[in-house]
């Protein structure tokens, strides 16, 4: 890398372009916390009657999915273009699912300790700014990253395996199936380990039991057997692999260190596969049970700005009137994917994933 132009701080490079000017020039390169919020909808795509809403294992719903990244922007040209962005995942928060048929809620949790593993990979993309003054836009380009998963070829364009292919898809020379789930959280298990919340209740109308009590959180279903659903027999731990394809931007605030803007996310920006699971009896899932879990992993449909979930029955309906009313009310225009960024310091500073998750992010509009 060539030396930065005279008078500019670390993180710039000489590209032979006109040197930009502005009060935010010293703070464009640096270490950033990035929070991306996705407006998503989902439905049960494998079970139940799609026309009248009966027999769903998981009810249709809509919620917010949040992902945190530690970002670096470096090697920025004199005019703010041409920079390199390096992203490292630091946290994921998923919405809860409702199973009305089982009077329960399902909450997938990524343990915070997972993200501190030194095996978590980073992803390289672009990082640039449209200018060096408040009101200009700082952009981290769209990039695909793999976590607990290996694919064949470029992560952005590689074919993602279906649930029918999980046990034998090919990901590299001599590797297939479970060997394609690298242990990125360093716990000795394939992929990354996620847990199902099994304590507490999901208390949100209209989802309440017939006696008025809140739905308890239960393990992930491992079959559609009504007795298993009602008894809460299921997976408490699942080993998964994921692909994310995200980018972010923020309009630079007056402090030159923060901003909020639109994120970039494709319809299939969040994809996952499950390779193994542990039952709430501490037994290993059978082949049939893990296949059921993998087949029914959440398929999040990401709403772009102005988008709405499709009309019934494509999104789904509900046979309980009060739940159907709530579902219909959720068909409102989306603000689309959003991102919030905070500059934490200069290049080379240490920032844990806890620092990223707890950063003082500007509020989303």
* pLDDT attached to residue 10: 85
Query: Does the pLDDT value for residue 222 go beyond 80?
Result: yes
In a domain, 365, yes or no: no
- Eight-class DSSP state of 332: -
Q: Is 44 in contact with 56 (CB distance < 8 Å)? A: yes
Q: How high is the pLDDT of residue 197? A: 95
Question: How large is the average pLDDT for residues 346-350?
Answer: 92
Answer yes or no: is 112 within a domain: yes
Mean residue pLDDT of the chain comes to: 90
The pair of structure tokens assigned to 332 is: 């409102």
The pLDDT tens digits for 22-75 are 888 888 899 999 999 999 999 998 888 777 777 888 888 899 999 999 999 999
DSSP H or E run through 354: helix 353-357
Cβ-Cβ contacts under 8 Å for 237 (sequence gap 6 or more): 193, 194, 195, 196, 277, 278
Q: Which residues contact 50 (CB under 8 A, 6 or more apart)?
A: 313, 316
> Is the pLDDT score of 2 beyond 70?
no
SS3 260: strand
Does residue 363 belong to any structural domain of this protein? no
The answer to which of 141-145, 186-190, 226-230, 304-308 has the lowest mean pLDDT is 226-230
Residue 191 forms part of a structural domain: yes
Task: Tell me if 362 is assigned to some domain.
Answer: no
Count: domains in the chain: 1
Q: How far apart are CA 104 and CA 218, in angstroms?
A: 6
More confident call, 363 vs 327: 363
Give residue 1's pLDDT band: very low, low, confident or very high (50, 70, 90).
Answer: very low
Can you give the residue range of the structural domain that contains 173? 25-357
Residue 186 lies in a domain: yes
> Does 3 map to a domain?
no
How far is 229 from 249, CA to CA, in rounded Å? 43
pLDDT of residue 227: 78
User: What's the confidence (pLDDT) of residue 249?
Assistant: 87
CA–CA gap between residue 136 and residue 31 (Å, rounded): 18
């542990």: which residue's tokens? Answer: 278
**In 3D, which of 3, 8, 2 has the Cα closest to residue 21?**
8
Strands 192-196 and 234-252 come out as: antiparallel
Q: What is the pLDDT of residue 49?
A: 79
Please report the pLDDT score of residue 294 as a whole number. Answer: 97
Is residue 5 scored above 90 in pLDDT? no
The pTM of this model reads 0.93
CB 340 within 8 A of CB 251: no
Q: What is the dihedral of CA 45, 46, 49, 52, to 10 degrees?
A: -10
String of DSSP letters for 286-312: PHHHHHHHHHTS--PEEPPTT--PPPT
Give SS3 for 259. strand
Q: How far is CA 196 from CA 107, 112, 254, in A?
A: 6, 14, 42
pLDDT in tens, 127-178: 899 999 999 998 999 999 999 999 999 999 999 999 999 999 999 888 999 9
pLDDT at 7: 65
Q: Is residue 9 part of a domain?
A: no
Buried b (16+ CB within 10 A) or exposed e, 263-296: bbbeeebbbbbbbbbbbbeeeebeeebbbbbbeb
Whether the Cβ atoms of residue 238 and residue 277 lie closer than 8 Å to each other? yes
Q: Residue 294 and residue 163: Cα distance in Å, rounded?
A: 6
Separation of alpha carbons 76 and 2, rounded Å? 11
β-bridge mates for residue 261, sequence order: 339
Q: In the chain, what's the furthest Cα-to-Cα distance?
A: 73
Residue 6 has pLDDT above 70, yes or no: no
pLDDT at 101: 84
pLDDT over 70 (residue 201): yes
Q: What is the pLDDT of residues 265-308, one digit of tens each?
A: 987 889 999 999 999 999 999 999 999 999 999 899 999 999 99
CA distance 227 to 259: 50
Nearest residue to 122 (alpha-carbon basis) of 81, 163, 74:
74
| Structure tokens given for 30 | 């640096």
């Amino acid at each position: 890398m060539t030396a930065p132009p005279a008078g500019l701080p670390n993180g710039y490079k000489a590209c032979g372009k006109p040197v930009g000017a502005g009060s935010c020039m010293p703070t464009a390169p640096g270490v950033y916390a990035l929070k991306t919020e996705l407006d998503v909808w989902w439905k049960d795509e494998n079970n139940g009657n799609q026309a009248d809403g009966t027999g769903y294992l998981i009810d249709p719903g809509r919620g917010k999915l949040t992902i945190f990244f530690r970002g670096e922007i470096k090697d920025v040209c004199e005019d703010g273009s041409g920079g390199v962005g390096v992203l490292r995942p630091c946290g994921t928060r998923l919405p809860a699912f409702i199973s009305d048929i089982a009077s329960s809620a399902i909450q997938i949790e990524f343990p915070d300790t997972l993200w501190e593993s030194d095996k978590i990979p980073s992803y390289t993309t672009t990082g640039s700014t449209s200018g060096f003054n408040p009101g200009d836009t700082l952009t981290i380009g769209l990039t695909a990253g793999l976590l607990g998963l290996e694919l064949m070829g470029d992560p952005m364009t590689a074919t993602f395996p279906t649930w029918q292919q999980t046990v034998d898809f090919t990901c590299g020379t001599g590797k297939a199936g479970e060997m394609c789930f690298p242990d990125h959280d360093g716990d000795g298990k394939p992929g990354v380990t996620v847990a199902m919340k099994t304590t507490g209740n999901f208390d949100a109308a209209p989802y309440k039991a017939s006696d008025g009590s809140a739905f308890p959180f239960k393990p992930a279903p491992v079959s559609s057997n009504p007795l298993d659903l009602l008894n809460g027999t299921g997976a408490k731990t699942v080993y998964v692999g994921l692909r994310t394809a995200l980018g972010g931007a923020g309009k630079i605030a007056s402090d030159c260190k923060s901003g909020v803007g639109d994120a970039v996310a494709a319809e299939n920006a969040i994809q996952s596969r499950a390779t193994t699971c542990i039952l709430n009896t501490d037994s290993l899932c059978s082949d049939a049970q893990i296949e059921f879990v993998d087949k029914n992993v959440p398929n999040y449909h990401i709403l772009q700005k102005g988008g709405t979930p499709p009309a019934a029955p494509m999104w789904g309906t509900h046979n309980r009137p009060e739940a159907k009313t709530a579902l219909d009310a959720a068909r409102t225009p989306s603000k689309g994917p959003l991102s919030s960024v905070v500059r934490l310091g200069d290049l080379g500073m240490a920032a844990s994933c806890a620092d990223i998750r707890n950063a003082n992010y500007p509020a989303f509009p």
